[in-house]
Chains A and B, each alone.
Chain A
Amino acid sequence: NAGVTQTPKFQVLKTGQSMTLQCAQDMNHNSMYWYRQDPGMGLRLIYYSASEGTTDKGEVPNGYNVSRLNKREFSLRLESAAPSQTSVYFCATSDRDWYGYTFGSGTRLTVV
């Protein structure tokens, strides 16, 4: 029972390069989320998908795009990476408003 799986676990990009962070869940949850975690800033919501076919901006969406490919998968794309996007990225899932959230193990991204 994997829960929430994020790939890759580590990545180094050069400024201007693009990449997609993948998240897959086997919990059959409707809602999926992308957060970033930075020292001194805590965890901040980038984008979320309340259900398959819908996506919405969170607190810090600039520079990112998302795709809810199906109920299981929610990807985060950086079109032109910037050093300010160096961070640890977490994917999370939940089902109903009263459910708790389950997090993946994170992707540590460095943009040089």
Chain B
Amino acid sequence: KQEVTQIPAALSVPEGENLVLNCSFTDSAIYNLQWFRQDPGKGLTSLLLIQSSQREQTSGRLNASLDKSSGRSTLYIAASQPGDSATYLCAGNTGKLIFGQGTTLQVKP
């Protein structure tokens, strides 16, 4: 059974810092891994999708990596801004999408 874990559960940083969010999964037979952003009371916005054959994906200040052999993915956010404050969810796809509990990020001005 696929289990997805995200560390840390919460993170508070000053504006401008580079930061890393971690995601680990138990079943390496994933098709892909997807990172989402969720603002309070809102739905899920897809940020990045990494296929199992890929090592990383980039979108603007976001970079996500995938290491299937170790069961790990990281989301790197460069030059963080207050508008980045949200909960970040990673999810592994083994035919069904299994979510981690999320990392709640607060970026202070």
A interface vs B, CB < 8 Å? 33, 40, 42-45, 48, 58, 90, 92, 94, 97-98, 100-106
| Nearest chain A CB to B104 CB, angstrom units | 11
Interface size class, chain B? 20 to 34
Contact: B100 with A48, CB < 8 Å? Answer: no
Which of A33, A44, A100, A104 gathers most chain B CB within 10 Å? A100
Contact: A45 with B32, CB < 8 Å? Answer: no
Chain A at the B interface: SS class: strand
- Per the bound structure, the CA–CA distance linking A22 and B42 in Å amounts to 18
Can you name 21 A-B pairs with beta carbons within 8 Å?
A33-B96, A42-B89, A42-B99, A42-B101, A42-B102, A43-B89, A44-B99, A48-B96, A90-B43, A90-B44, A94-B97, A98-B51, A100-B34, A100-B46, A100-B49, A101-B91, A101-B93, A101-B97, A102-B46, A103-B36, A103-B44
